[in-house]
Amino acid sequence: MRRIFLALFAAACCTGAVAQQPAVQASGAVIVIPAEGEVTRANDEAHATFSIEEQDRDKAAAASRVNAKAKQGVEILKREDPGAKLQTRGYYTYPVYEETPPNLPQPKQRRIVGWRVGQYVELTTTNLAKLPATVAAAQRVLSLNGLYFGLSRAARRELDRERIEAAYRNLNERVSFVLQAMGRSPADAAIDTIDFEATGNYAPAAAPAAMRALAKAPEADVTEPSFEPGETTLSMRVVGRVKIR
């Protein structure tokens, strides 16, 4: 019985010694805390690429038809969406060579039998409500070669402000959580350094490959297409160095 009493007494002494040990002091320590802010907004700008291509034995005839249809297409786009930004680019002229059957010897120099001429017209607009009607009207003359949505400069600027605020707010929240876990109050710490690192994707979508269809663009009425602009999400990573007093 005496032996059991001595063992219990020794265990109690050890427990009391551990309980009396002071907590680890963090004064003067520097804590690195990462945080992140993420915001989302509906896309408000569309970028459409139209094309026109003609083929003819006479290069001048093919070029003339392309020039006329490109001019007509631009006039349609301006009429349907006066506020849109238009840009013509990518004018090309390619020779069309005579094809030689694979079972025959290939000639050293192939004979040119025609010409392929084309051009691209780019439209940028924030009038998304009118976009289906605008595209359908232009498709009577031009071919829709590509379409993607994004944020206008004003919307992107506003969203950038919002994500910075969200990142900084998240950093303050996480600093508070860490201090609570350490048993310290916000008054015991001061943010020493804040490092903002933007991680949003501003690269525009890649331009689509040129269309090679030889058929003429249809001039009949075209049923309006359906588009969903979607949304854009921007995120920002921030790292804060907090010094414990």
Amino acid at 117: V
Please tell me whether residues 52 and 173 are part of one structural domain: no
List, for residues 80-119, the tens digit of each pLDDT value. Answer: 999 999 998 889 999 999 887 777 777 778 888 999 999 9
In a domain, 34, yes or no: yes
Residue 146 lies in a domain: yes
Which residue range is the domain that position 64 belongs to? 45-96+111-150
Greatest pairwise CA separation for the chain in angstroms: 118
Which pLDDT belongs to residue 188?
A: 81
- Residue 57 DSSP class: S
pLDDT tens digit sequence for 199-219: 433 233 433 333 333 334 445
pLDDT number for residue 155: 92
Residue 237 maps to a domain:
yes
* pLDDT at residue 121 in the model: 93
Does residue 164 share a domain with residue 75? Answer: no
**142 plus 158 within the same structural domain:** no
CATH number at residue 188: 3.30.110.170
Rounded Cα distance between 220 and 139, Å, is 9
Is there a domain that residue 16 lies in?
A: no
End-to-end CA distance of the chain: 52
130 and 141 in a single domain? The answer is yes
User: How many structural domains does the chain have?
Assistant: 2
Burial bucket for residue 164 (CB in 10 Å: 0-12, 13-18, 19+): middle
Taking the chain (245 residues) in runs of 10, the rounded mean pLDDT of each run is 48 48 61 87 93 94 93 94 92 89 75 92 94 94 93 92 90 87 82 67 36 42 61 76 78
Q: Is residue 32 in some structural domain?
A: yes
Same domain as 242, residue 199:
yes
- φ and ψ of 162, to 5 deg: -65, -40
Which of 84, 80, 79, 113 minimizes the C-alpha distance to 96? 113
Q: Are residues 163 and 242 in the same domain?
A: yes
Question: Does 127 fall in a domain?
Answer: yes
